[in-house]
Structure 1
Amino acid sequence: MLNIADTLHLWCREARPFALATVVDVAGSAPLPIGTSLAVDADGNAVGSISGGCVEGAVYELCRQVLSDRGDPQRAWFGYSDDDAFAIGLTCGGELDVLVQRIDPAVQPHLAAALADTVQGQPTAVAQVVAGPRDLIGSTLSVLADGSGTYGTLDGGPTDKLVAQEAQALLRAGRTTRVTVGGNGDGCPEPLTVLVHVHASRPRMLIFGAVDFAAALSQAGHFLGYRVTVCDARPVFATPARFPYADEVVVDWPHRYLAQTAVDARTAVCVLTHDAKFDIPLLQLALDLPVGYVGAMGSRRTHEERLLRLREVGVMQEQLTRLRSPIGLDLGARTPEETAISITAEIIAHAGRGSGLPLGRVSGPIHRVSGAVPETARHGGGMVSGTC
């Protein structure tokens, strides 16, 4: 739902009821990920998309029905078949499990508060119950990243605490996904499946070395949505004018800056300095931090010498296996711009656990997904819908 937070926030401010259709599970080559939503208000205005166009008409009509009936949430499954591929199914071959529910902002003010935080750029997580006790389906609970706020309630008891803890953890990781809580003696008597929608702060890309390659990489990182920092100890090179796409340009010794800045599992550290006096203390620290990616530029000879020096200062082999060096994928890149594409391609592949091979040489689904459409939702045809 956070993909359309701006419009939903406006509708909530106007106390305008709407139907919300959310992708709660996917399988195969589904075009959009879980958590993606489409909403329809009482006047028939629609916002968002859940399939890139394949099944929007059917979902729109289901939203109109749920909104007018004021009844229970509805569940729908959309899948591929030869008979309905070009009618109601997904021609890409994927499968979608969709939850459609009526939202009345007047009785759910907590959702408006969470959407307001999202619109204002606050890291926020909204937990939405998608399976479990009938009376909880569609219920939401929201948390802020700093733990200062919790909006909404599920059962007013231990379930709220369990779901809030899961939402906080996923918010820190910057991941929208499904989790199951309860049913195991932890105070929540029945298991719940909860889809946690996450609006996180931008991931960081830390580029060390104020060189031409860093200028191109900072532009590529900016394009991908990273908060980009360029750091170099040489003030004559580390200037904002040379790196207009960087969010900040820092003059400091790289290892000293890295030691004092905030990083997380989504942070990409790119070492382009080509100088052992910078590289070694920087990489020694970076490989010991919980960052998502560490890469270093250099020739194969430089790489071997770098590994030797890192071993000499006590870096263990387990840590060295995290180092991506020479940095980037083998794309035949030569220019700074091409090299930036090579590096960011490796970062994407690493984060998404991709092979880096051409898609034509890889079997299986193009889009990796977590979970599959439940067997109970599979009943032939293009769509099956019913109350939860």
Structure 2
Amino acid sequence: MDQEGTWLAHNYHPLDIVIHAGHGAWVEDVQGRRYLDCLAGYSALNFGHTNRRLVRAAKAQLDTITMTSRAFRNDQLGPFARELAEFAGAEMVLPMNTGAEAVETAIKTARAWGYRVKAVPENRANIIVMGSNFHGRTTTVISFSDDDDARSDFGPYTAGFRMAPFGDLGAVRDLMDDNTVAVLTEPIQGEAGVIIPPPSFLPGVRQLCTENNILLIADEIQSGLGRTGTNFACDLWAVTPDLMTLGKALGGGIVPVSAVVGRADVLGVLEPGQHGSTFGGNPLSAAVGREVVQMLNEGDCQANVRELAPRMHAGLQELADAGIGVVNFTHVGLWSGVTIDSGSGRELCERLAAHGVLAKDTHGHTVRLSPPLMMSRGDMDVMFEGLSAALHDLARTN
């Protein structure tokens, strides 16, 4: 009996694989078949499944205390905030649970800063966002989405957002006015298919924001914490945002942990009672987050990404040159979007699974590859062998 199909709301369309165990870059289904996980929980599993250090940190905290709420202090939260702020080059941290919560928090904070510091007239603040963005699926976030699946039939929508094409610096400039409080952007768009902007885009947005007293908010929930071979994707362009939203890998694939990090004079506009979260900053999340930050400070995952990235690019180029359906690919670090011309991305993922590789489609004909950052060269060989076989299968049936 399909218990998920019967008892779960149908807001996901998963592949028909039932996973029950995972270690490193690999998972195992209930029948004992192993798969290479090339989705890694949308980057939540950057350190792999059941990472020993992270599991050890979680178990130690489970035996001590897991939850206090922010009504009281706990001995893990202060150190977590300091360590994360130092790692991110920030001055202050506001912990939450999910990525969408972090984005909502950044939006509220930017508006409060606009009214209280920039002196924008009441209810006139606007935030510039990008076309094809993905920042979550809460009501406010979908109000500035152009993805019909996420947006349709969920109105009325929240006002106060202006949309520029991603990568179009002139359009961003033209949308700015005296009431603009922030520009919110992913440095690299993940859900859209791993879309990388022109080299001048992010530095140009940074300059425009500085010149016009506007906050730059970088959504690093998928792109940050080692995915690109740097600590953050913004580092690729030597850009420092005023606020960053973090999540996914910050919880090590064990617990949901997110945060907004950035300038103290911006996050400091919030006062007690104006924003909160029952579970945000709980001791278990903070303990796991501390171990994540420690691992990132050691830099082994980032180094592995930098070592394997050229190999990943070469493998993708080889597939594109082979004439088996790859019409385009994007790539940075261990993160790629592969667009095909024969069949759908969903069909390719189904065939990939048949060859022991798990991935996720997006926007029709594109498949994202975001394997755990600690994958080996051998793992990468398996990924490309599966991808080649799946593309040949798809070409024969379409």
TM range (shorter): under 0.3
TM-score, normalised on structure 2? 0.25
Q: Which has the larger radius of gyration?
A: 1
Higher relative contact order (CA 8 A, sep 6+): 2
Task: Point out the structure with the larger helix share.
Answer: 2
TM-score, normalised on structure 1? 0.26
Task: Point out the structure with the larger strand share.
Answer: 1
